[in-house]
């Protein structure tokens, strides 16, 4: 089982939406999506886990590695809508990872801190990402 992803840039904010199961088989694909995010856009990246059915310990470690990778690019990582089992990213030596109840809350928190993003939007996604998804 793997994941599908969509990365959307709103000038100073990136949203990486992930669906499926973030287990050992999906970690490389997730790392590729994070690489895509690092190479495109600036500012923090919100990882929207609304469509994620769950994650393994390896998937959680991939999240912390993503936070480290983004921090080296002077960018932060935030999580929205962690899986329903309530587990959190493991503690350890990684940058702080803010967790929001849902994507709307994460976007509202970003807007409160930084104001509304300027116009301009770009989007990339895996071929398996459902067409016709609502706009952010």
Q: What are residue 94's phi and psi, to 5 degrees?
A: -145, 160
Q: Report the relative pairing of strands 45-55 and 77-80 from DSSP bridges.
A: parallel
Q: Report the relative pairing of strands 3-9 and 122-125 from DSSP bridges.
A: antiparallel
Percentage of the chain exceeding pLDDT 90: 57
DSSP string, 21-64: EESGGGHHHHHHHHHHHHHS--S-EEEEEEEEEEE-HHHHHHHH
In 3D space, the residue among 46, 56, 47 whose CA is nearest the CA of residue 19 turns out to be 47
CATH number for region 3-125:
3.30.750.24
Region 64-79: mean pLDDT is 94
Per-domain residue ranges for the chain?
Answer: 3-125
- Over residues 1-55, the pLDDT tens digits come to 689 999 998 768 899 999 999 999 999 999 999 999 999 888 999 999 999 999 9
* 3-class secondary-structure state, position 7: strand
Band of residue 130 on the pLDDT scale cut at 50, 70, 90: confident
Percentage of the chain exceeding pLDDT 70: 79
User: Which residues contact residue 68 at a Cβ distance below 8 angstroms, ignoring those fewer than 6 apart?
Assistant: 94, 95
80 CB-side CA count, 13 A = 22
Report the chain's mean pLDDT, rounded to a whole number.
84
Residue 1 burial (10 A CB sphere; 0-12, 13-18, 19+): exposed
């Amino acid at each position: 089982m793997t994941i599908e992803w969509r990365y959307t840039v709103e000038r100073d904010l990136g949203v990486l939406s992930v669906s499926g199961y973030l287990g050992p088989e999906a970690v490389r694909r997730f790392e590729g999506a994070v690489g895509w995010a690092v190479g495109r856009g600036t500012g923090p990246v919100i990882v929207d886990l609304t469509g994620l059915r769950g994650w393994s310990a390896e998937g959680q470690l991939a999240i912390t590695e993503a936070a480290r990778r983004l921090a080296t690019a002077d960018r932060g990582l935030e999580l929205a809508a962690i899986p329903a089992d309530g587990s959190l990213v493991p503690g350890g030596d990684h940058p702080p990872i803010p967790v929001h109840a849902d994507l709307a809350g994460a976007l509202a928190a970003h807007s409160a801190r930084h104001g509304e993003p300027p116009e301009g939007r770009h989007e990339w996604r895996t071929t398996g990402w459902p067409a016709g998804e609502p706009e952010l």
